[in-house]
């Protein structure tokens, strides 16, 4: 393989290639969205938030899949916990080739029973898994210290080498004489008295003059000089002593050991030694358990439009979002403010960022070997020495030393040459000292939420005509921090304004009302307005000479929230798994924003979030399909109908007159859920719970 650096690939190149492939996917699946010259690109974004986000998004996608919407999406863009659900969709479709195989009762049961995915099981099985978790962390922590051992070993044997070279030191050296005069002591007593005096003076003057500006630095200089003198005397003593005792005949052993440590440094890949491996295994065991043949399949093989097997391109194109960390950047990396990190994409066709450029996923060995669960785990690496906009040097040092490293080092398309190998201890110390940038062969990537937690940025960058964005992040105070971050970045980096329509402002309609503690709505609709062109992603045909500003898309923001029931729900048996979101919220007031630190969902908790996701999807579509009829009737929405539904809701174009008798009024949706005397959930007095189902809410 040639070591010459390949030509740099830009964002525009990546998007153009994706669109070419997606048009062929549409042709293969007999789908058409928009005009041939101006297709309506449709993307779904699933936010971060751990298992809470994964479970909400599972329910949400189930509703979309029920009505044929998921299969029509061009892109599925995910971050962190949203990626858990993403991996389930990609793996299951790759295995089965059928959208009907998604979100089945059997699958839901498995997820519900294994919500504590880090330590699954019950009784002794759970205790066994907890013990394995502890052992896995301790062992990975010990292995992660190999870089310290390598560097320490090189320094020690380099020291030995210096003192072992024949003729370097003799019995007549000053160091030998000094050692003999002190009866074999390594360093003379006067040195220790002097060092002690400096330290005592430093201590007492610091106490007496606590606000002196220059005092500590003065003493630090003296102490540093004393340390250098001590090191020189140690080397001198060792040289003399080694020559006397061994005659300096073992210098070649030192060289051999140093060479061995250097070679070991090329093999000490932290990606394989950190706790990332255990985390990845637990996620794959749960979310890819139904992708039997593709549980650990390469990412680049998850979108192949040239395949004769439909399952190879059936799922929407995956955009897995991570954050490229830039701590203490220098030179070209010396950015200000939010540009201290960048969006790093992992996808079947390309991997990279705007700063580093992009590389084909098959170009470098680590990208080519990267599996779907590995990419999803990197996107969910919430704990890492590099934390994007949340980074600090103190955190970097502590998290590196304690092996809290869920992220990964991946090839830098800008500077790595194919066929070259990194020396890994260099990267360990980069993490330890907070010196992560883009000057090395490898770059550090972690949780996409460290830069943009909704996963919608890449869809905006691709000029999608319709974006459905699910915000399932923790936001108990409804500050909309993740949304505000996206609004700011889209406007300043892409020239796009996400302008919520009048009466659709999230803080007014989604934030809970103080008098009821419930939300008015679960979603809000915005227009995407382009003020200036960015990255040259959009083609001239898409602008149509209309100039700026102009509307280019519709942004549907769906927020995990609970709307008010028309009447209070009556009591239910505690053991009954037919809990609705309303029952769960009575005993867990922070629902649906319980801490992301809680990654151990019991069955009732999982079920409540899963149902909430279904409600979110139903409300967004203005649907209230009822009872058993809902299983026999499922209108298939075109993308154009979906766009018109949000742009012209008063026309309600989704149903014919004959179909309307099976659905609730669009403005009611699931906000009108109440309960009858038997505890069954109803919509306007009609059963929404199939009588033959005990543990599953039905859309």
Q: What percent of the chain has pLDDT over 90?
A: 37
Reported pTM:
0.81
Extended beta strands in 261-328, E state: 317-325
What pLDDT digit, counting tens, does each position of 216-264 carry? Answer: 667 777 877 888 888 777 776 666 655 444 444 567 777 888 888 889 8
Alpha carbon 60 to chain centroid, angstroms: 20
Going by pLDDT thresholds of 50, 70 and 90, the confidence category of residue 677 is very low
Distance CA 559, CA 57 (A): 11
pLDDT of residue 194: 86
Residue 340's pLDDT is 72
What number is the average pLDDT over the span 99-128?
83
In this prediction, residue 245 carries a pLDDT of 42
Tell me what pLDDT residue 191 has: 84
Higher pLDDT, 351 or 639: 351
Task: Check whether 675 has a pLDDT greater than 70.
Answer: no
105-113 and 603-621 helices, crossing angle to 10°: 130
Q: CB–CB of 343/354 below 8 Å? A: yes
- Lowest mean pLDDT of 164-178, 342-356, 610-624, name the range: 164-178
Mean pLDDT confidence for 90-116: 92
What is the DSSP annotation of 278-330? HHHHHHHHHHTTT-GGGTT-BGGGS--TT-SSGGGT-SPEEEEEEEEE-SS--
**Per mean pLDDT, which range of 75-89, 178-192, 245-259, 473-487 is the poorest?**
178-192
pLDDT of residue 681: 33
Sign for the CA dihedral angle at 656, 60, 101, 580 comes to negative
**Three-state secondary structure call for residue 34:** strand
Is residue 636 predicted with pLDDT exceeding 90? no
**CB-CB neighbours of 90 under 10 Å:** 29
Are 380 and 48 in contact by the 8 Å Cβ rule? The answer is yes
pLDDT classification of 270: cutoffs 50, 70, 90: confident
Distances (CA, A) of 217 to 192, 200, 228, 230: 21, 15, 16, 20
Q: Supply the pLDDT for residue 577.
A: 42
Q: Residue 484: what pLDDT?
A: 96
Task: Render pLDDT for 322-371 as a digit per residue (tens, 0 to 9).
Answer: 999 987 655 554 555 445 789 999 999 999 999 899 999 999 989 999 99
Structure letter (DSSP) for residue 414: T
3-state helix, strand, coil in the chain (%, to 5): 45, 10, 40
Q: Collapsing DSSP states into helix, strand and coil, what is residue 193?
A: helix
Cα Rg for the chain, rounded, in angstroms? 30
User: For the residues 497-509, what does the mean pLDDT come to?
Assistant: 93
Looking at residue 149, what is its pLDDT? 87
| Residue 72 near residue 638, CB atoms below 8 Å | yes
Q: How far is CA 342 from CA 39, 183, 357, 514, in A?
A: 29, 61, 11, 38
CA distance 612 to 581: 6
Q: Which helix (H) or strand (E) holds 527?
A: strand 523-530
State the pLDDT at residue 586: 80
Residue 94 has pLDDT above 60, yes or no: yes
Cis amide leading into 549 (omega within 30): yes
If one compares 417 and 498, the residue with the highest pLDDT of the two is 498
Residues in the chain, overall count: 699
How high is the pLDDT of residue 152? 84
Six token digits for residue 292:
């039997």
Taking only the tens place, the pLDDT of each residue in 512-547 is: 988 778 899 999 999 999 987 765 455 444 544 556
Alpha-carbon span 680 to 579, nearest angstrom: 10
Residue ranges of domains in the chain: 170-244
pLDDT at 330: 56
Give the DSSP letter string of 613-660: HHHHHHHHHT----TTHHHH--PPPPHHHHHHHHHSGGG-TT--HHHH
User: For the residues 386-397, what does the mean pLDDT come to?
Assistant: 83
**416 pLDDT exceeds 80?**
yes
Query: Tens digit of pLDDT for each residue in 145-169?
Result: 888 888 888 887 887 777 666 555 4
Residue 213 has which token pair?
């500006």
Q: Write down the mean pLDDT value for the chain.
A: 79
pLDDT at residue 278 in the model:
83
């Amino acid at each position: 393989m040639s070591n010459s650096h390949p030509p740099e690939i830009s964002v525009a190149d990546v998007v153009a290639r994706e669109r070419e492939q997606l048009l062929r996917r549409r042709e293969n699946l007999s789908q058409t969205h928009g005009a041939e010259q101006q297709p309506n690109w449709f993307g779904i974004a699933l936010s971060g938030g751990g298992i809470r986000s994964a479970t909400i998004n599972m329910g949400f996608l189930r509703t979309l899949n029920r009505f044929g919407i998921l299969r029509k999406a061009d892109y599925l863009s995910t971050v962190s916990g949203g990626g858990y659900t993403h991996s389930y969709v990609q793996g299951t479709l790759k295995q089965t080739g059928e959208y009907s195989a998604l979100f089945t009762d059997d699958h839901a049961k498995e997820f519900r029973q294994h919500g504590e995915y880090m330590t699954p099981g019950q009784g002794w099985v759970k205790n066994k898994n907890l013990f394995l978790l502890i052992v896995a962390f301790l062992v990975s922590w010990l292995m992660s210290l190999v870089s310290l051992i390598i560097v320490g070993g090189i320094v020690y044997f380099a020291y030995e080498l210096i003192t072992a070279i024949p003729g370097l030191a003799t019995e007549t050296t000053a160091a030998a004489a000094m050692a003999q005069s002190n009866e074999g002591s390594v360093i003379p007593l006067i040195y220790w008295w002097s060092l002690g005096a400096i330290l005592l003076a430093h201590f007492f003057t610091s106490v007496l003059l606590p606000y002196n500006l220059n005092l500590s630095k003065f003493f630090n200089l003296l102490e540093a000089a004393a340390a250098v003198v001590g090191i020189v005397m140690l080397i001198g003593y060792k040289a003399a002593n080694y020559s006397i005792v061994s005659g300096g005949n073992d210098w070649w052993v030192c060289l051999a050991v140093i060479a061995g440590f250097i070679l070991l440094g090329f093999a000490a890949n932290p990606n394989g030694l950190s706790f990332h491996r255990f985390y990845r295994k637990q996620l794959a065991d749960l979310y890819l358990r139904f992708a039997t043949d593709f549980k650990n399949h390469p990412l680049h093989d998850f979108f192949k439009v040239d395949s004769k097997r439909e399952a190879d391109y059936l799922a929407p194109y995956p955009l897995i979002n991570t954050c490229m960390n830039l701590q203490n950047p220098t030179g070209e990396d010396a950015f200000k403010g939010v540009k201290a990190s960048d969006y790093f994409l992992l996808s079947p066709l390309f991997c990279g960022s705007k700063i580093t450029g992009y590389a084909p996923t098959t170009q470098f060995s680590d990208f080519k070997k990267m599996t779907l669960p590995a990419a999803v785990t990197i996107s969910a690496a919430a704990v890492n020495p590099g934390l994007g906009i949340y980074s600090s040097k103190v955190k970097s040092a502590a998290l590196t030393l304690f092996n809290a490293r869920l992220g990964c080092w991946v090839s830098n398309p800008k500077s790595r040459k194919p066929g070259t190998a990194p020396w890994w201890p260099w990267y360990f110390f980069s993490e330890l000292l907070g010196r992560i940038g883009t000057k090395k062969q490898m770059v550090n990537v972690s949780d996409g939420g460290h830069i943009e937690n909704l996963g919608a940025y890449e869809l905006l960058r691709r000029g999608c005509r319709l974006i459905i964005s699910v915000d399932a992040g923790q936001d108990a105070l409804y500050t909309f921090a993740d949304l505000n971050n996206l609004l700011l970045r889209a406007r300043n980096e892409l020239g796009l304004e996400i302008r919520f329509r009048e009466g659709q402002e999230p803080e007014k309609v989604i934030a809970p009302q103080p008098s009821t503690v419930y939300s008015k709505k679960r979603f809000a609709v915005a227009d995407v307005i382009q003020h200036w062109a960015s990255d040259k992603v959009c083609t001239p045909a898409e602008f149509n000479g209309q100039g700026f500003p102009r509307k280019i898309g519709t942004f549907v923001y769906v927020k995990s929230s609970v709307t008010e029931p028309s009447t209070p729900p009556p009591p239910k048996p505690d053991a009954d798994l037919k809990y609705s979101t309303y029952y769960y919220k009575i005993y867990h007031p922070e629902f649906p924003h319980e801490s992301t630190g809680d990654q151990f969902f019991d069955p009732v908790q999982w079920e409540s979030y899963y149902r909430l996701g279904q409600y979110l999807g139903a409300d967004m579509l203005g649907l209230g399909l009822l009872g058993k009829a809902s299983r026999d009737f499922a209108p298939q929405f075109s993308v154009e109908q979906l766009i018109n539904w949000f742009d012209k809701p008063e026309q309600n174009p989704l149903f014919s007159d004959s179909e309307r008798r099976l659905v609730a009024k669009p403005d009611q949706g699931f906000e009108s859920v109440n309960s009858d005397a038997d505890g069954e959930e109803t919509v306007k007095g009609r059963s929404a719970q199939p009588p033959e189902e005990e543990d599953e809410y039905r859309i």
